[in-house]
Structure 1
Amino acid sequence: MIDASFYNQSRQNMGIEEVVEHMKAFIEKDPTATYRLSIGTDSHVHQRYTRFITAIHIHRVGKGAWGCIRNHTIERKVTSLKEKISTETILSQEVAFPFISLYLEQLAEIILPYEDEGGNLQFEIHLDIGKQGLTKHLIQDMTNRIDAMGVEVKIKPDSYAASSYAHRYTK
């Protein structure tokens, strides 16, 4: 199980179980909505360390969102782009695994009775890579890792959990 602490502007030191409870409460407010649950990681190389931020973001499409992040720091500059993107992918996979094995079913059970009214839950991993720029040669390798988990993968410009939400906290 993940032993890292998640946080957002209103809550600190949340374990993964508490994160899921907040998500359940968020979904219960409108179980007829379409939800997109996204996990993504971004990083920034600082002078003496590299900060990785992994985001969990649940979007009630067209009607708001709730999210939280966790910080993972490597006490050195990660200068290899492949190592940096690979680490981002691994950290996202690590957070996604308990959802796949335990929590997605619990979240889906809230929505299931409301499917005929439009209730829906999509699960995605967002990678901070894209067809433009230096990361384009890493797309196949990184997306294959997520595909092997049976999870939908998004890359730029559609990978907002990594390239926007997590990115905001890497500096």
Structure 2
Amino acid sequence: MHFFSPSKGKISIQELLTELSLYIQDSSPSNYKIIIGTDSQTYKDKTIFVTAVIIQRLGKGARFFYKKKKQKPIHDLRTRIYTETELSLKHLNSLKEKGLANLFAKYPVEVHVDIGRNGDTRQLIHEVVGWVTAVGYTAKIKPDSFGASSVADKFTS
């Protein structure tokens, strides 16, 4: 599994872990938050999913990494939102297994979901937030879900 860094290009999971650790060690004592969010865009012939992994140094910036996945077009909004959430949770579990368990235990982890109280996705809030919460993470929705609705969204084209 590979991710992309805006400054380093294609990186491995091990390099991602190293980058996260270096970012934390690079600053005097600060508070951090780990954020993961997935967004998607459907085109005529494909749907592109982008998952962003963000480490936020509260009040002092952030670093992010992303991974793209292309598949057959998914036109049903409910299915796309569920797939986005599933990808975020799968990537969290994979990162945890590869060595981020200590970071996840030390810093808050948020799953940013591209749903909100306005628009068609409002009907999914209870289900999706319940799912994320049930597996032990904090869910954030619009307007607080920038990991999905801004960072991941930027790379869905």
Q: TM-score, normalised by structure 1?
A: 0.85
Q: Secondary structure at the match of 1:138?
A: helix
Counterpart selection for 2:100 from 78, 85, 103: 103
Go from structure 1 to structure 2 and tell me whether the alpha carbon gap of 1:78 and 1:72 turns closer, same or farther (over 3 Å shift).
same
Unmatched tracts of structure 2, length 5 or more = none
Q: Secondary structure at the match of 1:14?
A: strand
* Superposition pairs of residues 14-53 of structure 1, within 5 angstroms: 14-30=11-27, 32-53=29-50
Q: Distance in 2 between matches of 1:14 and 1:140?
A: 35
Runs of 4+ in 1 over 4 A off after TM superposition: 99-102, 106-109
Q: Secondary structure at the match of 2:29?
A: coil
Deviations 1:7-66 (A, max 9, x none): 022223322222111000000012511111100000001121000000001111111211
Q: Aligned-pair RMSD on alpha carbons?
A: 1.6
Counterpart selection for 1:158 from 120, 134, 144: 144
Q: Residue in 2 aligned with 1:112? A: none
Unmatched tracts of structure 1, length 5 or more = 110-120
Q: TM-score, normalised by structure 2?
A: 0.92
Are residues 1:147 and 2:147 paired? no
**Is the CA contact 1:51–1:170 (under 8 Å) kept in the aligned structure 2?**
yes
Are residues 1:87 and 2:73 paired? no
Q: Secondary structure at the match of 2:114?
A: strand
The structure with more radius of gyration = 1
Are residues 1:170 and 2:156 paired? yes
